Structure 1
Amino acid sequence: MEPTETIGCEKTEMGEDLAFLKSKIEEVHFDPYRNVDEQTFSQSLNRVGFVEKRYREIAIQESIALLGDAHTTVCNFRFGELFPVRYQEIGGYFYIIGAPDIGDHVVGREVRGINGHSIEDIVKKVKSLSSKEGPEVLLRDLAWYLQSNMILRYYGFSDGKEVSLDTDNGQIPLKVSQKLANNLQRLDPLKWIPTDVDDDETYFGNPLYQFRIFGNTLFFKYNDCTNSGYSKEYLEKFKDRLLEEARICQTLVVDLRSNDGGSTEVMWDLFERLPDDRKIYVAIGRRTFSSAMHHLLYLKNSKGATLIGENAGQKPNRFGDSYHFTLPNSKIRMKSSFKYFELLPGQDIEVVEPDIRIPLTIEDYVNGTDPLEKWIKEMR
């Protein structure tokens, strides 16, 4: 593709970087101007040259977000000056689900503002950084952005290394701490802990892929589309064991709620070999992303599976697969998608919704309860 718009500050090192970035995106991306016209994209990049150096990655991300592609982004732009806290949007509200100590009294609180600014006002600004590829992508991104002091400073919601959170139970002072932020304990009601499985003779697997049997239901958690750290022989043993149990059980539940992608090849043959005469449910949620989208749609369309849980994390027709590159002067790391996946040809669907909605609440996070397990046990 021949670029027709130039970068106005291209005589500077940053200008050279931005011209390189635009050229590389046009070279690599499957369809860079599907969601934004070239002139608007170029004008946005032009503004980056006038931004303070420490905020350049964030400013570039604002431009990249215009492409509307969750697989094309500035790498690690949101990791500057992190607060030791994690958020989750649930039902229109943002809650604290991670802290240095999981027993900390801050966990479970609703965050209503930061430094006197309402969450609504903050969201209006920081959402400019998200590709907004779909509604769930935006909500996932917002929870990430609120953790970054650099992002809050860029938009004028912080002026130092400390902020005050306005919560439903008073104010919470927060200080930037990269060390603590990198070692957070996070509430995760979807994760099986040792006490759940140690005495369960039906359990088999590892943190990446695992299953248990509840009555006549095989519950298969597929958490990551990878086999990293495990041998091919172990993977094949797992598949054989699962298929053996699947032929005995009446119902199969494939849980993709924690699966944000990887390689579809790891479990593709397993899904193809699942028995056709069993009732199959596929659990989905906001973290169901990328390769996991391929699996859920295959199981629904080819195996007649019923979708349960919450909205999936990505559009079915979307860009994907990433090419990484580095800007020559600033050394800012980037990635661009280079493929387009049309999993539902001719359908412009923003979000894949479950057939049966089983939502997670903040109480589930705090109490460590998975409503899907309760649903399975009640179904028996």
Structure 2
Amino acid sequence: MTHRYNWRRLFCLCLALMLLLTTGAMAAENDASSRQEDLDFLYETLSTYHPNLFANTPESVFLERKAEIEQRLGTVSDVEFAMDLQSLTALAGDSHTSLALGGSLAEQMHFYPMALTWMDGKWYLSAAESSSLLGRQVTAINGRTMDQVVESFRRLLSADNGVKLRRQYRQSCNVAEFYDYVGIAEQGRPLTLTFSDGASLSLQAVDTEALSQMTVSRLSDRRSAEPETAAANAYYWSKFLKDGSYYIQYNICQEDPELPMETFAGQVWSDLDAQPVQRVILDLRNNGGGSDGVIWPLFEVLADSGAQLICLIGESTFSSGIINAVELQEMGAVLLGEETSGSVSHFGSVKSFSLPGSGLRGGMSSKYIDLNTLLDAGAGRQVIPLAPDVAVPQTLDDYLSGKDSCVEYLYAHPERLSQAEHPDAPLTRGRFLGQIHQAAEPLFEAGTASDGSWDDPPFTDLLGIEWFRHPLNWAHQSGVAKGNGDGTFSAARILTWQEAAVFLVRSAGALGLEPETVRTSPLPAALAAPGWAERELNQAWAWGLLPEDGDFTASPTRAQGLSMAEALLS
């Protein structure tokens, strides 16, 4: 089906999605002094107020780029100057720090009549004048591979990981001035798309007025249906799926003024109380962020539901949506879907600013959110995309037939799914006690050791949703874990070998175990050096609980923690 469609609206919308709309306009005259004021203000604002502007790019590179821009102040167009400023901002390598283009600038720009989409690891033509070309895989543009094209856009687009860069390219892939700026297509010359079958399509850039008069065919018009889990225009909603599982779509980290989260969470509780399920699916694939604390009433309901939690993530999961996804992993949820454009640890908490001359607006991170140290599930993960435990990409065939590839996978796999192990990730204090407790389950089931009660978390710094919250209760009640002396425990702190030895020896006593001495060799010097927990270190070493070939100059890993817990109970 072919539609008369407003191309101008479509592509200006793409530009607005990639960037914030500006309320100001570039000065009509080529005012070099005003531009110098904007350039100085932008650099001084970023370098003064960003928490670590030079984390990814040395200050010398920023200054070199600023000097290059200064040489062009009196000769470039308004659009080129705006892109110069954007390229300076992009050096931060921070997805939350960017300069806005839009408003009157969009009226001066040119666009290629096409759109691209990314599915299942491939680029496809998703909008064009010719309907016969839709859905074809695009492998190159002007002789550059798609990977090379996307990478070239890093000069203009603010991104802290490759998925975010790819997403921002997709949202701006029709802007002719961008291709000219990064050296892929000269202004006035065609842009040639190459398809996987060797065919090609040459496109000429047009202004917004000509674009609005074109007839467009869209890939979405070929869909035979929409899945029941299609993104809805709602903050959050829920329903039972045909396999009996319970599905929740959470699209924005904001409170719905007409349906407060407390009320919604109560509705979910009522649904699950009336019809218990084996699996709850929480969909964050459309969630671009907001306030990460909004969802907590729902978390409390899900933590007590008894159902396995599945969290769906994808390219659009970003910012506070990432934080909530990692918190769900902390609850024991399995992440399913595709890598996110948001990074696990990242700069965020955006503050806005406006340039004095042009009125262009920007957003800038005000703090670093380090989930690597805040949550066990984030341990060892720095500024990288959040990867699913089970990778399930949306396929083009499923898209066209109206199927949600992730949900179809879950229909085909009713068994209980597992989180990815990440054996080399650093071991936290909370996880190690969880591993010991899991290894001791046969003793609890046999009644030869006390499992403790399910009281409220004993330490004040616990969230109360952690998958290891009951093991921490047991450890506290049995004297294995005594905390930091101020009522806290620091469950997400990386475990030391000394702490591992203390927890192992105390657990042996709490579980009524009497391990045999299997080693007489002296304690390795690297373990003895810190000079504390000497008794527990020697005992755990003699019992063979600490790895004989371990690198004791590095922190224990998850795999080593599991091995130590199993050795204690063997």
**TM, length-normalised to structure 2:** 0.56
Query: Once the 2 structures are TM-superposed, how far is the Cα of residue 159 of structure 1 from its aligned partner?
Result: 2.0
Match in the other structure for 2:358 = 330
Q: Deviation string for 1:238-288 (max 9, x for gaps)?
A: 332222223422210111112111222432321232143221011111111
Task: Please state if 1:27 is matched with 2:64.
Answer: no
Task: Please state if 1:155 is matched with 2:182.
Answer: yes
Match in the other structure for 1:95 = 124
Higher relative contact order (CA 8 A, sep 6+): 1
Match in the other structure for 2:484 = none
Q: Secondary structure at the match of 1:249?
A: coil
Distance in 1 (alpha carbons) for counterparts of 2:268 and 2:174:
39
Q: Which amino acid aligns with 2:206?
A: V
For this pair of structures, how many residues does the alignment match? Answer: 357
Q: Which amino acid aligns with 2:278?
A: Q
Match in the other structure for 1:211 = 238
Q: Deviation string for 1:314-369 (max 9, x for gaps)?
A: 22111112222221112222211112111221634323211111112232333332
- Aligned residues of 1:253 and 1:282 also touching (Cα < 8 A): yes
Task: Please state if 1:315 is matched with 2:343.
Answer: yes
Q: Deviation string for 1:174-232 (max 9, x for gaps)?
A: 45364659x99674999x94x848xxxxx9x853322221233101121222346x514
Distance in 2 (alpha carbons) for counterparts of 1:258 and 1:185:
21
- Aligned residues of 1:162 and 1:176 also touching (Cα < 8 A): no
Percent identical residues = 25
Equivalent position to 2:61, from 16, 32, 40? 40
Match in the other structure for 2:482 = none
Quick check: which has more Rg, 1 or 2?
2
Q: Secondary structure at the match of 1:32?
A: coil
Greater mean deviation of Cα atoms: 348-357 or 277-286: 348-357
Query: Once the 2 structures are TM-superposed, how far is the Cα of residue 131 of structure 1 from its aligned partner?
Result: 3.5
Match in the other structure for 1:85 = 114
Task: Please state if 1:267 is matched with 2:295.
Answer: yes
Match in the other structure for 1:347 = 380
- Aligned residues of 2:50 and 2:367 also touching (Cα < 8 A): yes
Q: Which amino acid aligns with 1:207?
A: A
- Aligned residues of 2:116 and 2:124 also touching (Cα < 8 A): yes
- Aligned residues of 2:265 and 2:301 also touching (Cα < 8 A): no
Distance in 2 (alpha carbons) for counterparts of 1:38 and 1:360:
40
Match in the other structure for 1:240 = 266
Q: Judging changes above 3 Å, is the alpha-carbon distance between structure 1 residues 332 and 97 closer, same or farther for their aligned structure 2 residues?
A: same
The unaligned stretches of length 5 or more in structure 2 are 1-30, 374-378, 415-570
Distance in 1 (alpha carbons) for counterparts of 2:363 and 2:221:
29
Distance in 2 (alpha carbons) for counterparts of 1:63 and 1:163:
26
Distance in 1 (alpha carbons) for counterparts of 2:220 and 2:118:
13
Distance in 2 (alpha carbons) for counterparts of 1:25 and 1:188:
43
Match in the other structure for 2:93 = 68
Q: Judging changes above 3 Å, is the alpha-carbon distance between structure 1 residues 263 and 117 closer, same or farther for their aligned structure 2 residues?
A: same
Q: Judging changes above 3 Å, is the alpha-carbon distance between structure 1 residues 120 and 351 closer, same or farther for their aligned structure 2 residues?
A: closer
Greater mean deviation of Cα atoms: 107-116 or 251-260: 107-116
Task: Please state if 1:15 is matched with 2:42.
Answer: no
Match in the other structure for 2:406 = 372
Match in the other structure for 1:357 = 391
- Aligned residues of 1:83 and 1:147 also touching (Cα < 8 A): yes
Q: Judging changes above 3 Å, is the alpha-carbon distance between structure 1 residues 38 and 144 closer, same or farther for their aligned structure 2 residues?
A: same
Match in the other structure for 2:332 = 304
Q: Judging changes above 3 Å, is the alpha-carbon distance between structure 1 residues 11 and 88 closer, same or farther for their aligned structure 2 residues?
A: closer
Distance in 1 (alpha carbons) for counterparts of 2:364 and 2:244:
45
Greater mean deviation of Cα atoms: 245-254 or 92-101: 92-101
Q: Which amino acid aligns with 1:130?
A: L
Q: Which amino acid aligns with 1:357?
A: A
- Aligned residues of 1:86 and 1:186 also touching (Cα < 8 A): no
Greater mean deviation of Cα atoms: 75-84 or 27-36: 75-84
Match in the other structure for 2:422 = none
The unaligned stretches of length 5 or more in structure 1 are 1-9, 198-202
Query: Once the 2 structures are TM-superposed, how far is the Cα of residue 90 of structure 1 from its aligned partner?
Result: 3.8
* 1:272-283 → structure 2 map (5 Å cutoff): 272-276=300-304, 277-283=306-312
- Aligned residues of 2:265 and 2:297 also touching (Cα < 8 A): no
- Aligned residues of 1:251 and 1:280 also touching (Cα < 8 A): yes
Distance in 2 (alpha carbons) for counterparts of 1:68 and 1:357:
26
Q: Which amino acid aligns with 1:238?
A: F
Distance in 2 (alpha carbons) for counterparts of 1:44 and 1:280:
48
Query: Once the 2 structures are TM-superposed, how far is the Cα of residue 154 of structure 1 from its aligned partner?
Result: 1.8
Task: Please state if 1:287 is matched with 2:329.
Answer: no
Match in the other structure for 2:160 = 133
Q: Secondary structure at the match of 1:322?
A: strand
Query: Once the 2 structures are TM-superposed, how far is the Cα of residue 27 of structure 1 from its aligned partner?
Result: 3.0
- Aligned residues of 1:289 and 1:313 also touching (Cα < 8 A): yes
Task: Please state if 1:50 is matched with 2:74.
Answer: no
Q: Which amino acid aligns with 2:380?
A: Q
Match in the other structure for 2:206 = 176
**TM, length-normalised to structure 1:** 0.82
Distance in 1 (alpha carbons) for counterparts of 2:247 and 2:281:
5
Q: Secondary structure at the match of 1:165?
A: strand
Q: Judging changes above 3 Å, is the alpha-carbon distance between structure 1 residues 116 and 134 closer, same or farther for their aligned structure 2 residues?
A: closer
Higher helix fraction (1 or 2)? 2
- Aligned residues of 2:262 and 2:297 also touching (Cα < 8 A): no
Distance in 2 (alpha carbons) for counterparts of 1:275 and 1:140:
33
Distance in 1 (alpha carbons) for counterparts of 2:221 and 2:251:
13
